[in-house]
Amino acid sequence: MESQRFSQQLTFLTQVDKMKNILRQTLLADGSRRETDAEHSWHFALMAMVLYEYCALPHVDLNRVLKMALVHDLVEIYAGDTFCYDQAANQDKALREKESADRLFALLPEDQGVEYRKLWEEFDAMETSDARYAAAIDRLQPLINNLLTEGHTWKLGNVAAAQVYERMDPIRTAAPALWPFVEKSIQESVEKGYLRP
């Protein structure tokens, strides 16, 4: 017979399978289709591992960063994906995501629900070293995909270079060795017409 704990975990895991169907604005690197939240989270986690040597912040716990990568977008199964450059959609994003978190993390046994929600909140606040490194990688991933798809997402949103600089700023402080790549990428994207000047 199933324990109540396992039953709760199974319910949660079944719900979060919906991540595989939530489409983001970003295309896959090959441009064939839009990526899903689940694919983004996996890629973010892998990038955080591979690029960890560039992290310049003190005392970053990679294990916690990987957990953040896996939970950071789970709330989107109820709240939906919000395009980061859509000002109107971002007005009620915090409320939608909080309500989603209330609903989602309550499915788990209390100890896990509390732990994962705290990780999600920490990531969102971007105040700790772990969260700041995680945020930097979370923002680098779609930048790279935009470069590989001729600015697909940026063109959709009529995005300007200044908006991308602002969005990418966590990389400047968390992984400054990667900042020249970001600057060059933005400058070249303007020259190629992927971004507005």
CA dist 167 and 155 (Å) reads: 16
Residue 24 in contact with residue 73, Cβ under 8 Å? no
For residue 133, what are the domain limits? 4-191
- Flag whether 72 is in a domain: yes
Q: What is the mean pLDDT of each run of 10 residues along the chain (197 residues)?
A: 90 97 95 97 98 98 98 94 79 90 97 98 97 98 96 95 97 98 98 96
pLDDT digits (tens, 9 = 90+) for 74-129: 999 998 888 788 777 778 888 999 999 999 999 999 999 999 999 999 999 999 99
How many domains does the structure of the chain reveal? 1
CATH number assigned to the domain comprising residue 25: 1.10.3210.10
- Flag whether 172 is in a domain: yes
CA dist 93 and 96 (Å) reads: 5
Nearest to 57 by CA among 156, 147, 132, 155: 132
- Flag whether 197 is in a domain: no
- Flag whether 182 is in a domain: yes
The reported pLDDT for the residue numbered 2 is: 74
- Flag whether 196 is in a domain: no
- Flag whether 57 is in a domain: yes
- Flag whether 100 is in a domain: yes
Q: What is the pTM of this model?
A: 0.94
- Flag whether 116 is in a domain: yes
Which amino acid type is present at position 88? A
